[in-house]
Structure 1
Amino acid sequence: MKLTVLGCSGGIGGASARTTAFLVDDDVLVDCGTGVGDLELDALKRIDHIFITHSHLDHIASIPLLVDSVGDGRGYPLTVYATPETLRILRSHIFNWLVWPDFSSIPDRQRPFMRFQPMLLGESVSLGGRVFTALPAHHTVPAVSYCIDSGQAQLLYSGDTAYCPELVEAINALPALRHLIVETAFPDEQRGLAMASRHLCPGMLATMLSELSVAPEVYISHLKPGMGERILQQIESHGGRLRPQALVQGQVIEF
């Protein structure tokens, strides 16, 4: 199994700043930010499943355009997985015929271009031997993280989260965890803003990592544009057993 980083930035501004989207093999997206727009049409047509961590725009921006681009050429609906709360937000505020058409009823409800699949916290979905499990996160809207299990190893993606003891507990319960993608959106001097918006800063990340009993490779995502170098320097200055590195757009992680 491979995960390709289509976008991992906390904002836009240049060709290397695409918001969060990960392509698993060639048929599954985890989050659907602006990075999806760089895929060619043939690649977009191969995507059958989208797992969404939460409803914020930088993580869902490409869903409406993706479905609009490929829906008519598919023989079955593209499936969007998220918590019931997140799906309610998508239905109410995006696919509401005001912002965008409701593709779960186009061309009709018996043969839609897209379908919503509720996914509860702790629930797993198996797709061709690959298992996707929704785990805790702590954000300003209902949110989850995802563990992706290839059958040989596991990768956990935190989504957007503040320090979350339940997530730490869940990570420590993953003995085959090889990779951890975790956000750190703000530098330490903006700790108050990080707490208010329920994101991590380097000090909070250091606390979280110090509580881990597992030893995955740690990759940092969701760096705010213009602040990335400073955040990474502060992460390094905190030290610790694990040595995080920046996640990079275009990076491929195999596990």
Structure 2
Amino acid sequence: MRVRVLGCSGAIARGCKTTSFLAGESLLVDAGTGAGDLTRDEMLRIDDVLLTHAHLDHIACLPLMVDTVAAARAGRPLRVHALPETLTALRQHIFNGVIWPDFSRLPSSDYPLLTFKPLAVGDVLTLDEHCIEVLPAQHAVPAVGYALRSAADDAAPWWVFSGDTERNPGFWARVNQMNVAALVIETAFSNRERELARLARHLSPEVLADELDQLDPTRRIPIYITHTKPAETETIMREIAALDQVRPGQREVAHDIRWLSASHVFHI
């Protein structure tokens, strides 16, 4: 299984695009500004979009992408999978005929360009070549994470994405049961802004360290840090590295922590 990082920044700046991953050729995980780097042909090959939540940095390119491929998708609607609350937010605030056309009813209700597919934590879906499990997240709005693996092999390892989250014991309980090849987890704020992170329900390095203490210490999983704010990335990664050097004495384990960059490709 191949997962391409289109965007993984917590905000925009030159060279910084917000969250979006392309799994294979047909599945998009979140539709932040990184999705804007896809060619039109690549967009046309996407049949399903998994959204973690409704915040703009994770959905910004979805309405524009639908418009880009509209003429070629007649009779083949793009399927958007998300929590019911996320789908309601899209209907009310984006595809409402005011901010953007309601492509779930255009060109007609019988033949829309977009369909909404509700999901719930714990659901397991098969979409084309991918098996997907919906994981819990704890964010300022209803949110989920996702685990993906090849649908062709039940024993295949998982690529796991936390989505936007703060402290999340349910997530770690499930991750510890999985054969994980790579874990992508957010850390949006530095320790200097730990209180803002708590209020916004994001992780800071200090809280990330607490969360990683819930990971089975016998397992060595590559951990990729995503969603860092452009102005804070160096500080966040320095603080994470410092904490990971100090704390292993408690656990007799040091984590394999890496910064995630756009254009990185996972081969799982």
- TM normalised by structure 2 equals 0.92
Q: Structure 1 stretches (4+) deviating beyond 6 angstroms?
A: none
The reply on whether 1:247 has 2:260 as its aligned counterpart is yes
Q: Secondary structure at the match of 1:230?
A: helix
CA offsets per residue over residues 184-228 of structure 1, 9 Å max, x none? 000111110000000000011111111101432100000001110
Q: 1:232: which partner in 2?
A: 237
Partner of 1:37: 36
In 1, the alpha carbon distance for the partners of 2:86 and 2:191 equals 30
For 1:58-207, list aligned pairs within 5 A: 58-74=57-73, 75-150=75-150, 151=153, 152-174=156-178, 176-207=179-210
**3-state SS of the aligned residue for 1:244?**
strand
Measured in 2, the distance between the counterparts of 1:67 and 1:243 equals 38
Task: Note the C-alpha offset of 1:127.
Answer: 1.8
Gaps in structure 1 of 5+ consecutive residues = none
Q: Is the 8 A contact 1:219 1:245 kept in 2?
A: yes
TM superposition shift of 1:71: 1.8
Q: Which whole-Å CA distance do the structure 1 matches of 2:234 and 2:164 have between them?
A: 20
Letter in 1 for 2:111: R
The whole-number CA distance in structure 1 between the counterparts of 2:115 and 2:128 is 19
* 8 Å CA contact retained: 2:85, 2:142: yes
Distance 2:223 2:80 in 1: 27
* Whole-angstrom CA distance in 2 between matches of 1:10 and 1:40: 23
State the match for 1:46 in structure 2.
45
Q: In the alignment, is the contact (CA less than 8 A) between 1:20 and 1:222 conserved in 2?
A: yes
- Counterpart position of 1:5: 5
Shift of 1:81: 0.1
Paired residue type of 2:78: L
Please tell me whether the aligned partners of residues 20 and 30 of structure 2 are also in contact (alpha carbons under 8 angstroms). yes
Moved more, 49-58 or 205-214: 205-214
CA offset at residue 98 of structure 1?
1.0
**CA contact 2:48–2:127 (8 Å) conserved in 1:** no
Distance (whole Å) between structure 1 residues aligned to residue 183 and residue 226 of structure 2: 10
Return the letter of the residue paired with 1:179.
Answer: A
Q: Please list every run of 5 or more consecutive structure 2 residues that lacks an aligned counterpart in the other structure.
A: 249-253
- For residues 168 and 226 of structure 2, what CA distance do their matches in structure 1 show? 17
Cα deviation for residue 243 of structure 1 reads: 2.4
> What SS does structure 1 have at the residue aligned with 2:256?
coil
Give me the identity figure in percent.
Answer: 42
Measured after TM superposition, the shift of residue 128 of structure 1 is: 2.9
Is the 8 Å Cα contact of residues 236 and 243 (structure 1) preserved in structure 2? no
Structure 2 counterpart of 1:17: 16
More deviation, 69-78/5-14: 69-78
Higher mean displacement: 95-104 or 49-58? 95-104
Query: Is the deviation greater in 138-147 or in 36-45?
Result: 36-45
Aligned residues: 253
Give the whole-Å Cα distance in 2 for the aligned partners of 1:85 and 1:254. Answer: 32
Q: Could you say which residue in structure 1 is the equivalent of 2:214?
A: 211
| SS of residue matched to 1:155 | strand
| Code of the aligned partner of 1:154 | W
Pairwise CA distance, 1:170? 1.6
Check the 8 A contact 1:72/1:113 in 2, yes or no.
Answer: no
Query: What amino acid sits opposite 2:256 in the alignment?
Result: R
Note the C-alpha offset of 1:230: 0.5
**What's the CA shift for 1:105?**
0.4
